[in-house]
């Protein structure tokens, strides 16, 4: 069985294995539907294409994976607030002078922008990102919940 994320536990009970199998099937179906999505390829708001994204949740953080094969790291801009993360940039292919005709076009190029809403608030000042082999990984630590606060009740008199 293929691991969903690197470093996942290999030893799993039968319930965990069943859950992982169902998750893999959901990922496959999601990718198929996403690839058929015209809205992802051509956003009506910006006129830009939208890269495919996976969003994972860990115990204390969210991981957002952007598939940006061919994008130059220097063109990428990552911005985040407590409730969403946005990535924009530009992807260009090297022009071939010898091209006389086009028979198939599937690779999206040009400007792109994608905003992903997050399931819970995050610690914006602790967000990190890395770009390797065409995959941008953004790690967004979940906002820590504060403990109980004791509130003094005044008499209301001045």
pLDDT of residue 37: 54
Integer angstrom CA distances of residue 48 from 3, 43, 93, 111, 112: 32, 6, 16, 6, 5
Query: Reduced to 3 states, what is the DSSP secondary structure of residue 115?
Result: strand
Task: Name the least confident of 19-33, 39-53, 102-116.
Answer: 39-53
Do 127 and 105 form a contact (C-beta atoms < 8 A)? no
pTM (2 decimals)?
0.66
In the sheet that holds 135-141, the strands lie side by side as 53-57, 61-67, 135-141, 128-132
pLDDT at 12 (0 to 100): 66
For 72-86, how does the pLDDT look when each residue is reduced to its tens digit (9 = 90+)?
A: 999 999 999 999 999
Distance of alpha carbon 43 from alpha carbon 11, whole angstroms = 42
Contact 82, 122 (CB under 8 A): yes
The C-alpha angle with vertex 30 and arms to 29 and 35, in degrees rounded to 5, equals 100
- 21-44 residue pLDDT tens: 777 777 777 666 665 655 544 444
SS3 12: coil
Distance CA 156, CA 158 (A): 7
């Amino acid at each position: 069985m293929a691991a969903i994320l690197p470093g996942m536990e290999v030893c799993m009970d039968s319930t965990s294995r069943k859950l992982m199998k169902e998750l893999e099937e959901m990922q496959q179906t999601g990718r198929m539907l996403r690839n058929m999505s015209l809205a992802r390829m051509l956003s009506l708001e910006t006129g830009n294409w939208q890269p495919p994204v996976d969003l994972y949740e860990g115990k204390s953080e969210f991981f957002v994976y952007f598939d940006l094969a061919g994008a130059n790291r220097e063109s990428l801009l990552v911005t985040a607030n407590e409730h969403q993360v946005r990535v924009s940039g530009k992807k260009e292919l090297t022009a071939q002078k010898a091209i006389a005709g086009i028979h198939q076009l599937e690779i999206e190029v040009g400007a792109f922008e994608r905003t992903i809403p997050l399931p819970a608030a995050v610690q914006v000042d602790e967000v990190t990102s890395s770009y390797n082999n065409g995959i941008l990984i953004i790690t967004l630590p979940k906002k820590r919940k504060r403990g109980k606060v004791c509130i003094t009740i005044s008499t209301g008199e001045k």
